[in-house]
């Protein structure tokens, strides 16, 4: 199975920035689609951004468009999420995930097979 490890989380003030990284390894890793998801306390998990490695397309949750950017270094098996102009509502546990090969690369997350342990992001006002 693929192993995904997130880093770069922490605390920020509103208007600040953080950059999350996700490094993938293991037999199950594939360069098809990866994404970031988050879950706030008491809320359901939601898709933040996804990136399709083969066609280079990305998609963002409306709540983060214009503020977050997803990027990847396929050679390094690394996915990033640059988060700018952070807001308190961005607080939550952020997860890196990867789909199965030929899986749907959507914010719904249905075909995401491998997940990282998650990393906390806390934004104060």
Which tens digits make up the pLDDT trace of 56-86? 899 999 999 999 999 988 777 889 999 999 9
- Say if residues 33 and 58 touch (Cβ distance below 8 Å): no
| Beta-strand relationship, 68-73 and 58-60 | unpaired
Mean pLDDT of 41-58: 93
CA distance 24 to 104: 19
Phi–psi pair at 21, nearest 5 degrees: -125, 150
What does 45-61 look like in DSSP terms, one character per residue? -EEEEEEETTT--EEE-
CA distance 66 to 62: 9
At residue 2 the predicted structure's pLDDT band, cuts being 50, 70 and 90, is confident
Say yes or no to pLDDT of 36 above 70.
Answer: yes
At residue 26 the predicted structure's pLDDT band, cuts being 50, 70 and 90, is confident
Measured between its terminal Cα atoms, the distance across the chain in Å is 39
Strand intervals (E) in the chain: 3-7, 10-13, 18-25, 33-39, 46-52, 58-60, 68-73, 78-83, 92-99, 112-115, 119-124
In three-state secondary structure terms, 74 is helix
Of 53 and 124, the structure prediction assigns the larger pLDDT to 124
Tokens 């050679």 sit on residue: 75
């Amino acid at each position: 199975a693929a192993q995904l490890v997130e880093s770069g989380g922490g605390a920020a003030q509103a208007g600040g920035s953080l950059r999350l990284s996700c490094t993938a390894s293991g037999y199950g890793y594939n360069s098809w689609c990866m994404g970031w998801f988050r879950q706030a306390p008491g809320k359901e998990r939601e898709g933040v951004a996804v990136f399709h490695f083969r066609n280079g397309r990305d998609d963002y949750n409306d709540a983060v468009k214009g503020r977050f950017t997803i990027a990847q270094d396929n050679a390094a098996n690394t996915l990033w999420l640059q988060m700018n102009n952070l807001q308190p509502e961005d607080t939550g546990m952020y997860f890196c995930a990867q789909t199965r090969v030929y899986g749907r690369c959507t914010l719904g997350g249905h075909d995401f097979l491998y997940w990282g342990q998650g990393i906390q992001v806390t934004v104060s006002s």
